[in-house]
Every structure is written in structure tokens, then in C-alpha cells.
Amino acid sequence: MEIPVTLPLAPAGLPPLPEEPSHASVWPASACPVPAGDLAVGGVSLAELADRFGTPCYVLDEGEVRARARAWRAALPGADVAYAGKAFLSRALIRWIGEEGLSLDVCSAGELELAAHAGFPAERIVLHGNAKSPDDLRTALRLGVGRIVIDSTGEIARLAALVPPGARQRVLVRVVPGVEAGAHAAVRTGVEGQKFGLPVAGGEAEGAVARILGQPRLELVGLHCHLGSQIASVDPYVTAVRRMVALLARLRDMHGVTFPELGMGGGFAIAYRDGGAALDPVAYAARVTGELSLRCAHADLPVPRLTVEPGRWIVGPAGIALYRVLAVKSTGSRVFVAVDGGMSDNPRPALYGVRYTVRLVGRASAAPARPVTVVGRHCEAGDVLAEDVALPGDVRPGDVLAVPASGAYQVSMASAYNLVGRPPVAAVADGRARLLIRRETPADLRSRDVGE
């Protein structure tokens, strides 16, 4: 099996890559075949990792995370690149993105406290959320976060009342630009009729800006929008830039103010199957910054500093899920391969119908491939990890299966359904592996049950 080992980046000095989506490998750049049908990532055998840490297990390639963070920094050297922590967060990951010069986007007091515990600079943190709790806001103010993104008009007075006398909190307003983008209806957040942000079309965004400008304890530094998730084309972002600059011009005319920052969110697509579409940061940077400069020049506005928030794009392709086969059976014309994980460690197929690549690791097989459905261990008919994937016809209990592109929105969304503990996360780099997050044990689960 030949595995590409380069990120889709244009070398310095060459023209930007094509504007349409690039096509990427689902495996980390360090992935390479090793003898006996195995695969190594970060210089470490995946089969050995399954034996050492047990299964299910998640493996994170530190070098891949760092390289992908650098890709955004290189593409947008004048912008603020904030890693979207909701994709996956741990102390080690926070340290990596901090060392690579990224900011951090969080959505809760829990994520804020973890960042503080890891020593991440609070001034480089932005707090999001459509329904921030009082604890979220108090924690953000106590730690001194750099930005809070206001998502509703009711949040304005609530936040202002919590800011200490004599202090000012920098904020942005999340607006809905009316741009439909995203791979699934559940993740399209740039259009009206969903829970996030304040619509431009109905005037709610302009009303929120007026209210904030009347709050002496809040300093409005810009606007923010987020279109959705798994967006592979740059076109929706270009459309959003046009609408956001038009709003900035109207606000300038109404209030006599210009804002120094413009957040364009994230949602950048990655490939989940070989050859799948992925957004390229170089193409994004060329078109979005070009459009921003052009529209601001036409409106006679200063060009605001751009903020982008890649999460999945940075950590998704760096992660691999490892499972062990428990059972193989045929039902009618279908072959089911059941593994020791499932929707408790990866709910995305059940939520969004996501399709993954699956590969046998740890032994060679000469058996012809056949289509199978890889299913989980849970008591749900919808607990399906991958449909119609090709695996050797002799796949059997005890085999180890590797699922690439598993670094984002799997461990972070994991549950203890059926009281199955959440899996561990191990990092690999330079031929070494270390545990980042240990496996959740039955004792962990019992310790929360304090009733009689």
C-alpha cells in the first residue's frame, strides 16, 4: 500500500494551489508500511500500540499536528490562527499549538480551566458559545481571556454586569451572514434558522452592535462569523467576506466606528477517504485575503486583522483509531465485522452519516478483499463505524483494524454509553509513544455514582 507522505502545500514562492478543493491522503504524512502487513505512524507500529495500550485506542501523531498548525501560520502570516479546541483538547495538544504560535478557541469553563492548567496565555484565548453559562463568563473574566464572542443580545448586559468596575472586556459579535455551507444540515451555521449568532438580514446584528457600543465595560473590536463544518470549497468564505465587509461599512456609516478585527471562523474540510476533498490553506489565504483587501478598498475601510479557527483540519488527519475485531458474521448478503469500540468513542457516523477508511494492520493477508460493514459493540442498530469498506476475506477475531482521520470530534464527543469507558489517547513522535489520556475504568465510572 503506497501512502503519500506530504501535506498538500505549495512551496514558498510558487503560485497558489488551485482554488477548488485539493485531494488528500487520509493518513498522517509519517505513515509508512512495515513488514508483515503492519503500518507505522510517527515511527511506531500500530499493531504494537494496540498491544501496549489496548483497544479501542486513539493514536495522535505529534509531528502531523505541528506540521498542519504551521501550514496555517505559513499561509496566513499576518492573521491570528486560533485552534478550535472543541475538535480535541488535552494538555499536550495545548502545549503543541502554543509552541507553534497559535491562539486557542474554547467553548466552556472546562476547556478554559484546562488551558490555564496547561499554562496557555489567556490573552490568546477566545471564548465562544451560543449559551454561555454564568460560570463560563466568570471563568473567562477571572482568567483574563483575550476575546469573548457575543452570540445573543441577552448576553450583552449579562457579560457587562460581570466585568469588574474600571475594567473593559474585548468582545466580538457573531453574525449570521446568510451563507449556506457545510457537509450536513446539522453543521450549517452560516444561515438563519439555527441557534448560533445574530442575523444580518433581519437587522439583529446591527442592533447588537449598537447595544455593545453603549456598554462602557465592553470594548467591541470586531465581527465574527462561522459558516459550518467540512467545507471543501473557498467560495462560501469569499461570499461571506463580501457580506461581512458590507456590514462593516454600514456600521461605520451608522456609528462612525471601524473595527480592527474580523473573525471568519473555521469549518475547513479534511478527507475521510483516500482522494476525498480537503480545503487547502494556501488557496484559502490567497482568495480570502485578496477579497478582503479589495472589498475594504472599495468601501474605504481599513483592512481588519483576520482570524481563522481551524480545528478538525489540524488534528483530524493526525489521529488514528485502533480497534480489535470481536466477531465476524454474515447476515443475508452482508458481512458484519464487530469491533470492541463503536458509538461510545465515535458517535459521528450515527450523527452525520460519516464514512471512514478502515485498514487491517498487524498481519499480511493474501485473501481477496470483500466489502464489509464494520460495526460497534453497543445496543443500537445505528452503531455502525464504516459501511461497505474493503477488508481481506479472512478477517477474523483478534485482528487489529486502523481507522485514519480520527483525531477530531471522536474522543471529544465520546460517552460512557453501556458503561463502556472512554478510550485512551497516545501520542507518537520520532519512534516513541507516550500516553496522553488514560483509559476510563469501571472504577472511574462507579466513583460518580454516589446515591443509595
DSSP for 293-334, written as a single string? HHHHHHHT-PPPEEEE--SHHHHGGGEEEEEEEEEEEEETTE
Q: Which of 32, 107, 296, 379 is catalytic?
A: 379
Q: How far apart are CA 16 and CA 5, in angstroms?
A: 20
Query: Please, which pLDDT band fits residue 234 given cuts at 50, 70 and 90?
Result: very high
Closest Cα partner for 94 from 405, 316, 311?
A: 311
| pLDDT computed for residue 200 by the predictor | 86
Q: How far apart are CA 255 and CA 425, in angstroms?
A: 50
Query: Please, which pLDDT band fits residue 182 given cuts at 50, 70 and 90?
Result: low
**pLDDT surpassing 70 at residue 18:** no
What is the residue extent of each domain of the chain? 62-316, 317-444
Domain 62-316 shares a fold with domain 317-444: no
214 CB contacts (<8 Å, ≥6 apart)?
A: none
Question: Which of 41-45, 75-79, 271-275 is predicted least confidently?
Answer: 271-275
Buried-state track 218-256, b at ≥16 Cβ within 10 A, e below 16: bebbbbbbbbbbbbbbbebbbbbbbbbbebbbebbeeee
Convert the pLDDT of each residue in 132-141 to its tens digit: 999 999 999 9
Tell me which amino acid residue 62 is: E
CA 113 from centre of chain:
19
**pLDDT surpassing 90 at residue 9:** no
| pLDDT computed for residue 332 by the predictor | 84
Query: Please, which pLDDT band fits residue 353 given cuts at 50, 70 and 90?
Result: confident
379 is catalytic: yes
Extract the C-alpha cell encoding 193: 434558522
Polymer length of the chain: 452
DSSP classification of residue 175 = E
**pLDDT surpassing 70 at residue 377:** yes
Query: Can you tell me which residue has the cell 469500540?
Result: 341
- 3-class SS of residue 432: strand
| pLDDT computed for residue 194 by the predictor | 57
The percent of residues in the chain predicted with pLDDT above 70, rounded, is 91
DSSP classification of residue 417 = G
- The domain covering 317-444 belongs, at the CATH homologous superfamily level, to Lyase, Ornithine Decarboxylase; Chain A, domain 1 (2.40.37.10)
Closest Cα partner for 428 from 85, 30, 51?
A: 30
Query: Please, which pLDDT band fits residue 275 given cuts at 50, 70 and 90?
Result: confident
Give me the chain's average pLDDT, please.
91
Q: What is the CATH number of domain 62-316?
A: 3.20.20.10
**pLDDT surpassing 50 at residue 16:** no
Question: Which of 112-121, 268-277, 404-413 is predicted least confidently?
Answer: 268-277
66 CB contacts (<8 Å, ≥6 apart)?
A: 96, 99, 100
DSSP of 99-126: HTT-EEEE-SHHHHHHHHHTT--GGGEE
- 3-class SS of residue 246: helix
Identify whether the C-beta of residue 189 lies closer than 8 Å to the C-beta of residue 226: yes
Mean pLDDT, range 140-166, rounded to an integer: 96
